[in-house]
Structure 1
Amino acid sequence: MPQTAQIVVENATIHFDKPYSYLIPEGMPVRPGCRVTVPFGAGNRTRFGMVLALSESGDISRLKPVASLVDARPLLSPDLLSLVEWLHEHTFCGYYDAVRTLLPPGIGVELKYTYERAKDAGPPEDLPPEQQQILEYLNGRGKPVREETLLAALGLDAESPSLRALCEAGAVIKSQEVRQRVLDEKLVMVRLADGITELGDITDVKITAKQKAVVELLAQAGQATLKEVCYFAGVGKTVVDRLEKAGVTHYFTREVYRSPYEVRTAREDASALSLSDEQQAAYRTLCELADSGKPQAALLYGVTGSGKTEVFLRTIQHLLGSGRGVIVMVPEISLTPQMIERFHRYFGDRVAVLHSGLTMGERMDEWKRIRDGGAQIVVGTRSAVFAPLARIGMIVMDEEQEATYKSEMSPRYHARDVARVRAASHNALLLLASATPSVESFYRAKQGRYHLIQLKNRFGAAKLPDVTILDMSTQALNAASGSLSAELIGQLRQNLENSEQSILLLNRRGYNTLVKCSICSAVAGCPNCSVALTYHTANGLLMCHYCGYTARPDETCPTCGSKFRRFSGAGTQKVEEELRELLPQARVLRMDMDTTMARFSHEKHFADFSAGKYDIIIGTQMVAKGLDFPNVTLVGVLSADSSLYAQDYCSFERAFSLFTQVVGRSGRSDKAGRAYIQTFTPENPVIALAAMQDYDSFYESEIENRRIHLYPPFCDMVGIGFSGIDRAEVQAASRQFLAQFAAFASAEYSDLPLRVLGPCESAIPRISGKYRWRMAVKCTFGARTRELLWRTVRWYHAQSRNRPVSLYVDPRYESSI
């Protein structure tokens, strides 16, 4: 009986996004998990597809055949194929969007078409002029012509009826080939062309102001990466492209080592790790859960510095002994260097790394090594949860409370939910670890849905740091610094005298966060987004941290013409400058997005700090979590209030976690630690509880607040977002969605508990030129609720008036509106 394949295709609109049956040509070794090309739609345009399943069918008369097989062996295993369906249903994404998420970007392929004149075709007779033109063009070529070349030369459309007619008549042969996407293995560099050393050497080309900035930068630096040129000159890539085309600059490439880390052998035995009695008990419990033969979930809740990492290192060794693999996730790239170093120390080249800081080629190579069994431990960020391990014994989420585990792009999944699904399919252990667990996870542990394992003491002789809350409203007006209190400056000076290190947290990058006219109060804002521009001294530009817009600061106010403009608000660049003035002997390292753009910059900076090359780190939240520096005895939290009052129900939880985590970086060895939290609201209970490192009291307060106001974990929150270039259209679309959702709900889903908030404008109404509205639904996110949402989404896309306004559904929404 003929075999058929259930295939999902790329770029299918929501009305046509479903598995389709295709006939498998005889002899074509198609298997589930392989990519294929298939004819799709009325025009039979070739598209990529993923085979989900095979079946036998008696009636094949209306089935189209598979055009070609792309992969000789399956890319996705059965459990990953089941994730495609799960992601589609639960995150409201397209099927092929889910497929792309499961595959490394470097493994992508593209279709190329060529056309040539049929050799046995006679001379053209009585053909329309356009068809004659096509044949004459092809006659002049001795080889097949690429589709894009042919179309551009003759001004044709890809769906040209004349071209299609010639192919159907056999006068023109259309061929198709699948090509592997070119991998990014080299770093693009820029330098001035030969004979040009300064701006005055350019005489025959008219230079714009932006191009002048590029030339002056390269004249000073000699050469730089394309990314560095764009950042420090404040220009887009097209500016550099035009200079290269004019012969002023020259592109070249620098070879980049394809593997992210050199091959290493294990230097230490994990079984030799010394564990305290608490750690030993936790280790035994985790081994029992992992060996139970059924899906398990546990929360490892321990104070900062209690040795959670050592516990799951020992557990991993136990699992490797029985042939099972492990996925270990960390929330940010900045946390991977120390983690990877530790794993390499104990497990050598059995460790693979997956995160966005690698090139496409490196990620693809690591992915293949995992799939082929060359690595049994995967360490990485959120996307590592999709690693193609054949037999998973445990999935670890370190710092499980972090918001970065949630994807903000389609598919909008949370790594914790995906990990739970994968652990269930492998009968594996899901281990969540944190000193400040998410309120939802701790609630589940309290309810007995997770096994709760506690580490109440720091490892060895280390003690929790002493914490002091500093009231910034009492600081003198003529203080030496607007960002650092006199007390904190004194503590930093004391640390320098004692040859001890310090960490300062300020979750704002740039120099000044606000540029405002002193006369009319007009703020320098982004023309594309509803936000103020931030001033950066590194490039002398005002920058938007949302869309990337840059501009030179105006000498006068564009609104009233005043020359009196006030630069206020301190970012990491300004605090770095103040530190160098106040403590000139201190070696200061700044770590934020601007200083960590280069590859492996996190590794280099943290290694230098660990080696004692710097005395003070000033940085954003990348310096606040998961780091272990024995010589750090002082931590300072600057501008604590900015983290407390965000417009969502999780703001207190995130602020408490951030404060607790950064305070926990201090005193992690035998030296006593201390921390200082600067705030204008010292009476805020969140700050006081974080200072005491009292998570349990914070949880009791927060869970009661969630219960009263009905927020997770007492309900699920689903967000629906709308965006478009016309504000009125976006507003109208959101209200139409709400009206239809309410109509469906009252008619057929009246049994569902639903509470709708909104629609209203988003907290930032406009980003990248698009207006944004949102609404939220408090519900139980079960199968019928998903069915209701899907019905409304499909109805919305069927309305032609809604085409200018894009829609997304976010199944884990945190805004309180």
Structure 2
Amino acid sequence: MQTNQPYDYSIPDVLSGQVVPGKRCVVNFGKGTRLVMGMVVGVQDAPDYAGTLKPIQSVLDKEPVLDKELLQLSSWLANDSFAFWITCLQTMLPTALRTETKRIGKMDEFTLVDKGHVQTVYYVHPAQTAADYATIQASVRSNAKKQLALVAELSHLSQSQGEVAAHALTREYGITLGMLKSAADKGWLRLEERETYRHPYAELDDMPRTKPLQLTDQQQKAYDAVAKSIKGQQAATYLLEGVTGSGKTEVYLQLMAAAQAAGKDALMLVPEIGLTPQMVARVKGRFGSQVAVLHSGLSDGERYDEWRRIARGEAHVVVGARSAAFAPLHNLGLLIMDEEHENSYKQDDAPRYHARDVLRWRSEYNHAPLLLGSATPSLESRARAEKGVYTQLLMPERANKQPLPPVDVIDMREADLDEYSGDFSAQMLAAIKDCLSQGNQAVLMLNRRGFSSFVMCRECGYVAKCPNCDISLTLHMDTHSLRCHYCGHEEAIPRVCPSCGSKRIRYYGTGTEKVQQTLGKLLPDARIMRMDVDTTRRKGAHGRILKEFGEHKADILLGTQMIAKGLDYPDVTLVGVINADTALGLPDFRASERTFQLLTQVSGRAGRAEKPGRVLVQTYNPDHYAIRLAQKQDYERFFALEMHMRHEGDYPPYYFTFKLTVSHEDEDKAAKAIFRLADMLQKGLSDQAIILGPSRAAIARVKRKYYYQLVIKYKNEPELQAVLESMLESTQVSSRSGYQIAFDREPLSFI
């Protein structure tokens, strides 16, 4: 069971002065001798506990790993997200600073293993004179080549008063660390161990610095407004609504410089690690080694070292994905969230926070402005700007004065498709050929990965489903397997139907892998690069693909929604959306908003430089308002229409929402539990609250657990916090019986 309160421990004399808030410590918790990691959240003279206190066993850190700000933030986060406090504290720490308890032998004894490790490098210093090394060299056997090489190197170093890294000697002569330690024991040399950082993107630190560009009038107005708040140390929130290509990034960079000029640090979030390489290159191009990077694409060691650089005040600009919202900057003067509308800013697991809310809290705490940027702001943010909660800044024109690319909608109901052309209409295929014939590049988006959506028997209708989840398996031809995109289950492609024995097994639907294969047949001379979850699993894959595409090593970049935003290539003159309907049919009240945002964002990848661009959108719903308004890139009209729809249906931003989900391996138990929780809510909340459900989740079974949910819609519900807190505590015991209860404030999806 989790705990959600501080516990009192005594401080032994040997640890006097070492135990301070923000340090990790080792304590004996509960009965027996089990050791766990604790976080010191306060020190007081007298205990609140009347019994005998256990002593703290040891302190893990020389300096606090969380400062006063982050400790207060963790407490707020636990309260706001209905997560346990220790879960929030651990969320803020890099993986390398988390610990695990291990049993010692067969006895009930435990030790705590810290996953963190510092990378060190050994340096070799000469300990003798050149004359001494000549004597040593004469005593070494003639066939001891490595020893002779070492002595010669040491003699050279003694004359130049230099040093050499041990790994350089290993690389040059094959001299091992063991040999060096043996030589040190003989008095030949002195070994010095130094801590060193694992430094991602180090190659960008020495690149030529970029100069600030002359701002356009609209950029200057946005800059002036935020810069005034930086200088005045005001905690204001700004919504920068700028069309794709309007130059939002240059505004960000010059505001970061303004923060630095004021002696402050800057934090910038981007929605996905796929966007990070390009953004890091731009920010490092302006600020060099002052920039630290935090995202899940780094190794644990790299994240740990970047985190330590930030905590030690060695980096003053941080660029990262969602988790970078907790970067341990001590002197924040500016916070930026690019593409603020993106779903990836919401955490799926406890604590289920939205990075925007975390940044707003840190903005208030540090008296620093927060800038939210997007071409298609979320309806919630745009509505707050309407009410004056946020200050709206507009950049309606592209920075280079080029017009937005024209968007043509292709009605796929009238398209003449065959097995050879696959999912490509004649217009789309002709446009791609025309684009490539002029030496330009194309970006094609299909928001579904894999080869086919499902495998079905044409004889009996059998569909291959995941044994752990209530979802069909997706065909992946690169691995020749069927794979579940929810739990990772994988199995061989069936040759005959497992149900009726028929050989009439066929593949239905399409994914990026299949489209790549079709394109290869239709355009055999085209160089195609695919960017989706399957091709970007390896470390550094995002950056490598984008770099190679930018170097014209491919003519077509085909991908899922990760290619829809942030990319800026001057030779991309065509953007094609292969199927605009993938999100439109979802049973989600945000389906239209997400479709509009995605189409508008991906359209903005075309014609960003001097060459004019063109966008083609294939759809089976050409008359849908989200698609028609995305074609016109008319955000204001879409906002007005969608807000009317939300008002009619009592949905956000007119109502707040909260989702409760119960899961269990036994479906009957999960159903009974959610109905018990619904009864508690009915009794504890007012008549103004609207409760939807309980009901089965849209995907009722995932990873062998059945899911049931209910949604609360409310405007002002003063008892909600107390009722949910009581529910959080009372459901703790049930976790021992296999139940999992998830609390999700303002969920981004009800399915």
Alignment of 1:143-162 (within 5 A): 147-149=103-105, 151=106, 158=108
C-alpha distance in 2, partners of 1:781/1:648? 24
Alpha-carbon contact 1:647-1:815 (below 8 Å) kept: no
* Aligned with 2:710 (options 775, 780, 783): 775
1:388 aligns with 2:323: no
1:50 alignment partner in structure 2: 39
* Whole-Å separation in 2 of the counterparts to 1:459 and 1:177: 59
Q: Give the structure 2 partner of residue 807 of structure 1.
A: 741
The amino acid of 1:35's aligned partner reads R
Which of 19, 37, 40 is matched with 2:26 structurally? Answer: 37
Which position in structure 2 is the counterpart of 1:643? 583
Letter matched to residue 428 of structure 1: A
Matches within 5 A, 1:136-535: 147-149=103-105, 151=106, 158=108, 178-181=112-115, 258-262=198-202, 264-265=204-205, 272-478=212-418, 480-535=420-475
When normalised by structure 2's length, the TM-score is 0.86
CA distance in 2, matches of 1:555, 1:474: 34
The CA deviation at 1:275 is: 1.2
Amino acid at match of 2:78: H
Contact 1:462/1:671 (CA < 8 Å) preserved in 2?
no
Query: Residues 322, 804 of structure 1: CA spacing in aligned structure 2 closer, same or farther, 3 A cutoff?
Result: same
Structure 2 counterpart of 1:92: 82
TM-score (norm 1): 0.80
Larger deviation, residues 426-435 vs 45-54? 45-54
How far off is 1:606 after superposition?
Answer: 0.5
Task: Note if 1:557 corresponds to 2:497.
Answer: yes
Q: Distance in 1 between matches of 2:490 and 2:716?
A: 42
1:290-342 Cα deviation digits (max 9, x unpaired): 22223110000001100001011111101111111111100000000110000
Q: Is the 8 A contact 1:741 1:792 kept in 2?
A: no
| Number of aligned positions between the proteins | 673
Q: What 5-or-longer segments of structure 1 have no aligned partner?
A: 1-12, 113-146, 159-173, 187-255
Deviates more, 1:419-428 or 1:26-35: 26-35
SS of equivalent residue, structure 1 residue 643: coil
Instruction: Report the Cα distance in structure 2 between the residues aligned to 1:567 and 1:59, rounded to whole angstroms.
Output: 66
CA apart distance, 1:178: 4.9
Q: Is the contact between residue 706 and residue 714 of structure 1 (CA under 8 Å) also seen in structure 2?
A: yes
Alignment partners' CA distance in 2, 1:781 and 1:383: 30
1:180 Cα offset (Å): 3.0
Q: Is 1:270–1:317's contact at 8 Å kept on the other side of the alignment?
A: no
Task: Give 1:110 deviation, angstroms.
Answer: 4.1
User: 1:668–1:764: structure 2 CA closer, same or farther, 3 Å change rule?
Assistant: same
What SS class does the counterpart of residue 432 from structure 1 fall into?
A: strand
Amino acid at match of 2:725: W
Map 1:698-777 → 2, pairs under 5 A: 698-745=638-685, 750=686, 753-777=688-712
Give the secondary-structure state (helix, strand or coil) at the position aligned to 1:512.
coil
| Residues in 1 aligned to 2:530 and 2:505: alpha-carbon distance in whole angstroms | 27
Percent identity of the aligned residues? 40
Counterparts of 1:329 and 1:687 in 2: how far apart (Å)? 28
Distance 1:353 1:784 in 2: 41
RMSD over equivalenced CA pairs, Å: 2.1
CA distance in 2, matches of 1:475, 1:484: 9
Q: In the alignment, what sits opposite 1:697?
A: 637
| Secondary structure at 2:318 match in 1 | strand
Q: What's the offset of the Cα at 1:260?
A: 1.4
Alignment of 1:109 with 2:44, yes or no, is no
SS of 1:761's partner is: strand
Say if 1:270 and 1:584 are closer, same or farther in 2 by CA, change over 3 A: closer
**Cα-to-partner distance string for 1:145-186 (whole Å, 9 max, x where unaligned):** xx533x0xxxx6x3xxxxxxxxxxxxxxx7x76543265999
Contact between 1:306 and 1:457, CA under 8 Å: does it hold in 2?
yes
Q: Which residue type is aligned with residue 41 of structure 1? A: G
**Superposed counterparts of 1:23-34, under 5 Å:** 23-26=10-13, 27-34=16-23
AA partner of residue 590 (structure 1): R
Q: Give the corresponding residue for 1:83.
A: 73
> What residue number does 1:653 align with?
593
Deviations 1:45-98 (A, max 9, x none): 332211112222278762332222121211101110011111211111111111
Match of 2:727 among 762, 770, 792: 792
Note the C-alpha offset of 1:782. 6.8
Letter in structure 1 aligned against 2:405: P
Counterpart position of 1:18: 5
Contact 1:423 1:429 in 2 (8 A): yes
CA-CA distance at 1:269 after TM superposition: 5.9
In the alignment, residue 359 of structure 1 is paired with which amino acid?
S
Task: Give distance in 2, aligned partners of 1:77 and 1:148.
Answer: 33
Partners of 2:750 and 2:326 in 1: CA distance: 30
Cα pair 1:271 1:317 within 8 Å, conserved: no
Give the direction of change, closer, same or farther, for the CA distance of 1:559–1:110 in structure 2 (3 Å limit).
Answer: closer
Instruction: Tell me if structure 1 keeps the 8 A contact 2:690–2:712.
Output: yes
What CA distance in whole angstroms lies between the structure 2 residues aligned with 1:795 and 1:84?
A: 22
CA distance in 2, matches of 1:310, 1:649: 34
Decide whether the 8 Å contact of 1:776 with 1:813 is kept in 2: no
8 Å contact 2:211–2:286 — kept in the other structure?
no
CA distance in 2, matches of 1:416, 1:429: 13
**How far 1:107 sits from its partner (Å)?**
1.8
SS of the residue 1:306 aligns to: coil
Conserved? CA contact 1:515–1:535, under 8 Å: yes
More deviation, 589-598/435-444: 589-598
* Residue 563 of structure 1: how far off its partner (Å): 1.0
CA distance in 2, matches of 1:362, 1:743: 50
1:773 corresponds to which letter in structure 2?
Answer: Y
C-alpha spacing 1:572/1:184, structure 2 compared with 1 (3 Å): farther
Report the AA paired with residue 732 of structure 2: H
| 1:315/1:781 CA distance change after superposition, 3 Å | farther
Match of 1:662 in 2: 602
Tell me the distance in 2 between the aligned counterparts of 1:407 and 1:110.
23
Give the counterpart letter for 2:104 in structure 1: E
1:66 aligns with 2:56: yes
Tell me: CA distance 1:477–1:315, structure 2 relative to 1, closer, same or farther (3 Å): closer
Task: Say whether the 8 Å CA contact 1:35–1:51 is kept in structure 2.
Answer: yes
SS at match of 1:101: helix
- Tell me, yes or no, if the aligned pair for 1:330 and 1:380 is still in contact at 8 Å: yes
Q: Write out per-residue CA displacement over residues 412-437 of structure 1, whole angstroms, 9 at most, x where no aligned residue.
A: 10000111111111001111000000
SS at match of 2:42: strand
Aligned partner of 2:152 in structure 1 is: none
Letter in 2 for 1:19: P
Report the Cα distance in structure 2 between the residues aligned to 1:378 and 1:461, rounded to whole angstroms.
31
Preserved CA contact (<8 Å) 1:104 1:367: yes
Tell me the distance in 1 between the aligned counterparts of 2:384 and 2:407: 30
Are the counterparts in 1 of residues 197 and 305 from structure 2 also a CA contact under 8 Å? no
Pairwise CA distance, 1:459: 1.0
Counterpart of 2:131? none
